[in-house]
């Protein structure tokens, strides 16, 4: 690839210095909208506190217009004196926004659909009605001194010229940013980059990425948007969210740091704790292979990998496990090599000779195939004991 082209994709060049990159986390809104997920009031409060401590810039707390517990909890969170901005989600109607105002939030998302299929078949309105509704709603919110994000729902399937008109209309009405929503997750990073770059050129407003994971590209698309000039990313812990979920907070932050060279300065060492808390509160287990926070992300078994990591962790790890609140594990099983076996026994204070390591390894592999899993410490000790009895007749 020519040098010029590579430079075009250098994230450090396109993140505008006048707008430092920010994160608006929606675990408490889109995350809770996941089919079957309900957070208890105390859990919403606890998650908001954790997100604030981790360092997110804005917390999308929920939908005040739902009233009841939702509204009461949002009011509590807005009154907690968090460092982060607190944002309530609204439809583009004054009544919804009034509920947000009642809660004392400092920011609102005002959402309306912008694709033909949504405007015609869901709203049963036309494009002009959408523009007018947004103008009125934004005007109302700005009169109440709120920070306003205008959400272009299903923006990825909207006609681009209309999306530009919608963005300019929102800007004229006084909106502070435009949330570009890939509501059903149909973009790929290349198309995302193209659309957001174009949008940035045609509309003078900050752009936020709201991406869904239906094709497994939520995080990639969020980053592509950032590369194209978006300055906000909407995330959820564990990627929780409707259907296949949203861009995961922990993935976006760590990818920005290690792939994009943008360090947001978050307390990333809390990511595993936050992930576990949200997993428990949402009753959605985090797979052990989940990027960034899965328990297996720093587990090494295969002989070549474990040997490399023992010599220098950087051979097979991009960053250290402590950075996200995890620990490195050397797993001994079918794919282990003799170096891992020797290292494992060293942890128990036993120094094996190379011959002993080889002999024990053979037994480890045989047992592991039989059990169809890696071995526990106790099982390794049994193998060692049997080996000594066999070879030296020595009783332990
Ligand atoms: Mn969504």
For residue range 248-290, list pLDDT tens digits in order. Answer: 999 999 999 999 889 999 999 999 999 999 999 999 999 999 9
Question: Is the model's pLDDT at 4 over the cut of 50?
Answer: no
C-alpha pair distances (Å), 379 with each of 304, 331, 365, 367: 22, 12, 12, 9
- What is the structure's pLDDT at 38? 96
Q: 227 CA distance to ligand 1 centroid (A)?
A: 21
* Residue 237 near residue 286 (C-beta atoms within 8 A): no
Measured distance CA(290)–CA(292) in Å, rounded: 6
Across 7-22, average pLDDT = 57
Closest CA to 332 of 272, 385, 381: 381
Whether the predicted pLDDT of 8 surpasses 90: no
**Which three-class secondary structure state does DSSP give residue 92?**
coil
Question: Is CATH 3.20.20.70 correct for 10-282?
Answer: yes
pLDDT of residue 16: 44
Distance 386 CA to ligand 1 centre (A): 57
Section 317-323 average pLDDT: 96
CB 388 within 8 A of CB 359: no
Residue 18 has a pLDDT of 42
Q: Decide: residue 135, CB within 10 A, 0-12 exposed, 13-18 middle, 19+ buried.
A: middle
Cα of 1 to ligand 1 centre, how many Å? 35
Of residues 277 and 3, which shows the higher confidence score?
277
**pLDDT at 10 exceeding the cut of 80:** no
Residue 215 CA, ligand 1 centroid: distance in Å: 14
pLDDT band at 381 (very low <50, low <70, confident <90, very high): very high
Domain with CATH 4.10.430.20 in the chain: 298-392
| Position 44 pLDDT exceeds 70 | yes
Distance 291 CA to ligand 1 centre (A): 21
Position 113 scores a pLDDT of 97
Q: Which pTM value belongs to this model? A: 0.90
Tell me, in angstroms, the distance from the centre of ligand 1 to residue 302's CA: 39
Q: Is the pLDDT of residue 394 over 80?
A: no
CB 331 within 8 A of CB 379: no
Class (C level, CATH) for 298-392: few secondary structures
Q: Inter-axis angle of helices 338-347 and 377-392, to 10 degrees?
A: 100
Q: How far is the CA of 298 from the centre of ligand 1 (A)?
A: 31
Ligand 1 centroid to Cα of residue 247, in Å, is: 10
Residue 82 has pLDDT above 50, yes or no: yes
**Residue 11 reports pLDDT greater than 90:** no
Q: pLDDT averaged over the chain? A: 93
Question: How many Cα atoms occupy the beta-carbon half-sphere of 177 within 13 Å?
Answer: 26
Go through 26-48 and write b for each residue having 16 or more CB atoms within 10 A of its CB, e for each that does not: bbbbbbbbbeebebeeebbbebb
The per-residue pLDDT for range 199-252, each reduced to its tens digit, is 999 999 999 999 999 999 999 999 999 999 999 999 999 999 999 999 999 999
Q: How far is the CA of 90 from the centre of ligand 1 (A)?
A: 13
Residue 339's nearest CA partner among 309, 363, 366 is 309
Q: How far is the CA of 242 from the centre of ligand 1 (A)?
A: 6
How far away, in angstroms, is 211 Cα from ligand 1 center? 7
Centre of ligand 1 from the C-alpha of residue 246, in Å = 7
User: Stretch 168-192: mean pLDDT, rounded?
Assistant: 98
Least confident of 32-46, 173-187, 190-204, 292-306: 292-306
**Percent of the chain, pLDDT > 90?**
89
Sign of CA dihedral 164, 169, 172, 173: negative
pLDDT value of position 13: 54
> What average pLDDT does this structure show over 93-113?
98
Least confident of 11-25, 53-67, 103-117, 330-344: 11-25
CA of 10 to the centre of ligand 1 (A): 28
Tell me what the mean pLDDT of segment 108-125 comes to: 96
Q: Are 34 and 18 in contact (CB under 8 A)?
A: no
For 189-255, the DSSP string reads HHHHHHHHHHHHHH--SEEEEEEB-TTS-HHHHHHHHHHTT--EEEEBGGG--STT-B-BHHHHHHH
Every domain range in the chain assigned CATH 3.20.20.70:
10-282
Mean pLDDT of 75-95: 98
Question: What is residue 301's predicted lDDT score, i.e. its pLDDT?
Answer: 87
């Amino acid at each position: 690839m020519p040098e010029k082209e590579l430079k075009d994709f250098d994230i450090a060049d396109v993140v505008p210095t006048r707008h430092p990159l920010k994160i608006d986390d929606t675990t408490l809104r889109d995350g809770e909208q996941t089919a079957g997920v309900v957070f208890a009031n105390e859990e919403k409060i606890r998650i908001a506190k954790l997100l604030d401590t981790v360092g997110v810039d804005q917390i999308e707390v929920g939908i005040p217009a739902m009233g009841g517990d939702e509204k009461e909890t949002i009011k509590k969170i807005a009154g907690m004196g968090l460092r982060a901005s607190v944002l309530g989600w609204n439809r583009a109607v004054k009544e919804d926004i009034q509920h947000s105002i009642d809660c004392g939030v400092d920011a609102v998302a005002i959402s309306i659909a912008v694709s033909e299929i949504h405007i015609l078949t869901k709203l049963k309105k036309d494009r002009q009605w959408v523009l007018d509704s947004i103008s009125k709603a934004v005007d109302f919110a700005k009169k109440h001194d709120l920070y306003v994000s205008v959400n272009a729902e299903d923006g990825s399937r909207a006609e681009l010229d209309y999306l530009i008109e919608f963005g300019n209309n929102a800007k004229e009405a006084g909106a502070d940013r435009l949330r570009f929503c890939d509501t059903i997750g149909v973009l790929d990073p290349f198309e995302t980059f193209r659309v957001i770059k174009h949008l940035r050129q045609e509309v003078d407003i900050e752009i936020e990425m709201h991406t869904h994971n239906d094709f497994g590209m939520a995080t990639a698309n969020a980053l592509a948007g950032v590369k194209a000039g978006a300055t906000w990313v909407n995330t959820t812990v564990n990627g929780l969210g409707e259907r296949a979920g949203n861009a995961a907070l922990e993935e976006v932050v760590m990818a920005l740091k290690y792939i994009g060279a943008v360090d947001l300065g978050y307390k990333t060492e809390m990511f595993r704790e936050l992930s576990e808390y949200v997993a428990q509160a949402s009753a959605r287990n985090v797979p052990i292979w989940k990027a960034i926070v899965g328990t297996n992300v720093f587990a090494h078994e295969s002989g070549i990998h474990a040997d490399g990591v023992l010599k220098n962790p950087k051979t097979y790890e991009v960053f250290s496990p402590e950075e996200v609140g995890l620990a490195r594990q050397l797993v001994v099983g079918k794919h282990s090599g003799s170096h891992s076996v020797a290292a494992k026994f060293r942890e128990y204070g036993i120094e094996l000779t190379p011959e002993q390591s080889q002999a024990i390894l053979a037994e480890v592999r045989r047992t592991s195939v039989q059990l169809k899993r890696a071995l526990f410490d106790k099982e390794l000790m049994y193998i060692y004991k049997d080996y000594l009895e066999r070879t030296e007749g020595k009783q332990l």
